[in-house]
Amino acid sequence: MLIISNYQKQYPGTDTPVLSITKLELAAGCYWIKGENGSGKTSLIKSIAGLLPCTGEIAVNGLNIRNNRMGYTKIVYYAEAEPQYPGFLTGKELMDFYFATKKGHLPHKLIKGLGVDQFMNSKTAVYSSGMMKKLSLVLGFTGNPALILLDEPLIALDAAAVDTLQHTITAYCNQGISFIVTSHQPLDNSIVKVDAGFIIKDKTLLKENQ
């Protein structure tokens, strides 16, 4: 499903890379990446999403982000940790835009389960952090994804929303859709089957308990 080779991310003005990955191959499934603040979790997941330049090669289902960026971004979706959207747009307008761009489908069960249907006609300028997070998750599931990247998806969510999200991840995994999740908060292993956990240590991505 995902192949990363010779990956390295280094920011201007720094002498050492934030993170280096010589080779990583992941079959379809659900994966959990853990690490301290500043360890490179978000840099990695943004690189996989195509939002952050890096060295090396990244491919999903045979589509290389450098050689076929349009095809790649149609199947790789991302929901960020602290989303921000133009305050003059409503949640529904953003959902309509994502739907028109990504095609596929709207995640109606998730929209209702997270309660986004109750505030999606309001402008995002009045959204709380929790409302913004829920909208971000809905957008991350909108379309026809092969891989969904969730950066700290549980923060700012109430208990009911966490339960809804975790059941949704499981349902999507059962349909063959893959996930890479970064989270300080543990996923409920009784709900979400994590195929492998990884930890970032000393700028290296290691399989947990290896």
pLDDT for position 16: 83
| AA letter at 53 | P
Q: What is the mean pLDDT of residues 14-39?
A: 91
161-188 per-position pLDDT tens digit: 999 999 999 999 999 999 999 988 878 8
Number of domains, the chain:
1
27-66 per-position pLDDT tens digit: 999 999 998 888 899 999 999 999 999 999 999 999 999 9
Percentage of residues in the chain having pLDDT higher than 90: 84
In this structure, what CATH number is given to the domain that contains residue 169?
3.40.50.300
| AA letter at 157 | L
Domain span holding position 98: 2-207
User: Does the structure show a pLDDT above 70 at 210?
Assistant: no
b/e string for 50-76 if b means 16 or more Cβ within 10 A?
beeebebebbbeebebeeeeeebbbbb
Percentage of residues in the chain having pLDDT higher than 70: 100
Rounded to the nearest integer, the mean pLDDT of the chain is 93
